[in-house]
Structure 1
Amino acid sequence: MSEQERQGERIAKYLARAGVASRRDIERMIGEGRVRMNNVPVEHPATFVTAGDIVQVDGAVVGEQDRTRLWRYHKPDGLVTTHRDPEGRRTVFEAMPEGMPRVISVGRLDLNSEGLLLLTNDGALARRLELPSNGWIRRYRVRVFGVVDERRLAQLAEGSVFEGVRYGPIEAGLDSRKGDNAWLTVALREGKNREIRRVMSGLNLHVSRLIRTSYGPFQLGTLNRGELEEVPGKTLREQVSGLAPERRPGRKV
């Protein structure tokens, strides 16, 4: 047995890898007394989990960690990307098919946005894929109402400031126009909360539809609304470096 196996794994990392939540959220849950190990409340995120330990979150036992998995989901509008909604609105996770393991989202799409949402059972992977340092481009199709000024659209690539908030470079181009409605293609690398809607509002454009078509190398493709499809393990490991190889029956990894 290696030294790492004897010491175990920090509980925050263990639960993140099990898809419970991000490490930051798990640390908050520990502070709220929601995490127990061997029926004793966990008081510090540096607690180590070793073989045979029983970990519970909100009274439910967290099972053995599965291999890292990723799904593409075509989120319809009208769903919120959160596990619990204080307003009682239906969530993305309530829409998952029966038998789906516990997953968390890579980033979010707001209530009225739709399109590609990545889901994973590995909280550490989710956090990693959200980091702006990845340089992954997120592309959107955006329908707007108003007069589109293509010169101002092009200037967004230099960064912008609206209502005192500074936004990074956004690539935006006009695809088609019919009357006061237009379709744009928008691409960014770091998305602040409701960034596209707020930036478009700053250009006197009202967003009536927002569809994410890609997140880094992963595409919405032909997924129908509400449809879910797992990314093959081989593809995931080709696109995300450093992931452990898949376990195969009868083979020790």
Structure 2
Amino acid sequence: MARVLSKLGHCSRAQGEALVRAGRVTLDGRVVRDPEHRTDPAQAAIAVDGAPIGARAPVHLMLNKPRGLVTTRDDPEGRPTVFSCLDGLDLPHVAPVGRLDKASEGLLLFTNDTAFADRLTDPARHLDKTYHVQIDRRPDDALLARFEAGIVDRGERLALKQARILRAGERTAWLEVVLDEGRNRQIRRVLAAFEIETLRLVRVAVGPLALGDLAKGAVRALTPAEVAALGG
């Protein structure tokens, strides 16, 4: 039942479990208290606090995430979250697709369309994600090749699919980095293996979808063509 509430875009799965256990959810007029109760939403009448729940229209959003926000709805440490950028918008329950860590910036997707999110995060798709990364040195071609060859960190092999110099000064450089897998802090860990500090990390594209000129902290809906291009 909790999974169905989440799939319908009413709430997160954890919130759904709490609603069910509190006796606030009914199925065909009868209270259900088992969050794992199997339910076919196409055949059943589901209500929360007496209000009927049905499938919500799919919502697909992109945010230009500012640095300093964590990618979660609620943070136990009280840190500001990406959901502060959605304040004041009339939205159903949406969730981020993947993550950007607190110090990272750029393109972050939100949706209530769980099938769409699953397709985007499916490791088998190897969907490219492009980043602009500022580092504390000027690399040469040999170093870029080592990034692409990869490292082993804590028993996990990590590599950058592509890395090239965008521009370079005497002491710093901006790289364009492409990943086709989503390991935790992958770019930062690869660079740290070579004692390179990541000064800024900005995701600028997910597959064919580019961040473009969307202002920092701003949100916009994806067009139907953009959703289709991402496999929606």
Post-superposition Cα deviations, 1:209-251, rounded to whole Å, max 9, x if no partner, equal: 000000112110110101111012344235425xxxxxxxxxx
What are the equivalent positions in structure 2 for 1:48-197 lying under 5 Å apart?
Answer: 48-49=40-41, 50-55=43-48, 63-98=53-88, 99-197=90-188
The aligned amino acid for 2:54 is: E
SS at match of 1:73: strand
Moved more, 152-161 or 84-93: 152-161
RMSD, aligned CA: 2.8
CA positional deviation for 1:70: 0.8
1:37 to 25, 38, 62: 25
What are the equivalent positions in structure 2 for 1:192-207 lying under 5 Å apart?
Answer: 192-207=183-198
The aligned amino acid for 2:129 is: R
CA positional deviation for 1:26: 5.0
The aligned amino acid for 2:25 is: M
Structure 1 regions of 5+ residues with no counterpart?
1-9, 242-253
SS at match of 1:126: helix
User: How many residues in Structure 1 have an aligned counterpart in Structure 2?
Assistant: 226
Residue pair 1:138, 1:215 contacting (<8 A) in 2 also:
yes
Aligned to 2:223: 232
Residue pair 1:78, 1:111 contacting (<8 A) in 2 also:
yes
CA positional deviation for 1:102: 1.9
The aligned amino acid for 1:136 is: L
Alignment partners' CA distance in 1, 2:226 and 2:44: 30
Alignment partners' CA distance in 1, 2:99 and 2:14: 18
What are the equivalent positions in structure 2 for 1:10-21 lying under 5 Å apart?
Answer: 12-18=3-9, 20-21=11-12
Post-superposition Cα deviations, 1:41-65, rounded to whole Å, max 9, x if no partner, equal: 1241534444432147xxx968432
Q: TM-score, normalised by structure 2?
A: 0.84
Q: Kindly tell me: are residues 36 and 158 of structure 1, through their superposed partners in 2, closer, same or farther at Cα, counting changes over 3 Å?
A: farther
The aligned amino acid for 1:37 is: V
Q: Percent identity?
A: 32
The aligned amino acid for 2:36 is: H
Residue pair 1:36, 1:42 contacting (<8 A) in 2 also:
no
Q: Kindly tell me: are residues 234 and 153 of structure 1, through their superposed partners in 2, closer, same or farther at Cα, counting changes over 3 Å?
A: closer
Aligned to 1:6: none
Structure 2 regions of 5+ residues with no counterpart?
none
Alignment partners' CA distance in 1, 2:226 and 2:106: 21
Question: Is 1:210 the equivalent of 2:198?
Answer: no
CA positional deviation for 1:156: 3.0
Q: TM-score, normalised by structure 1?
A: 0.78
Q: Kindly tell me: are residues 190 and 238 of structure 1, through their superposed partners in 2, closer, same or farther at Cα, counting changes over 3 Å?
A: closer
Moved more, 179-188 or 41-50: 41-50
Alignment partners' CA distance in 2, 1:152 and 1:175: 15
The aligned amino acid for 1:120 is: T
Residue pair 2:151, 2:193 contacting (<8 A) in 1 also:
no
Residue pair 2:46, 2:53 contacting (<8 A) in 1 also:
no
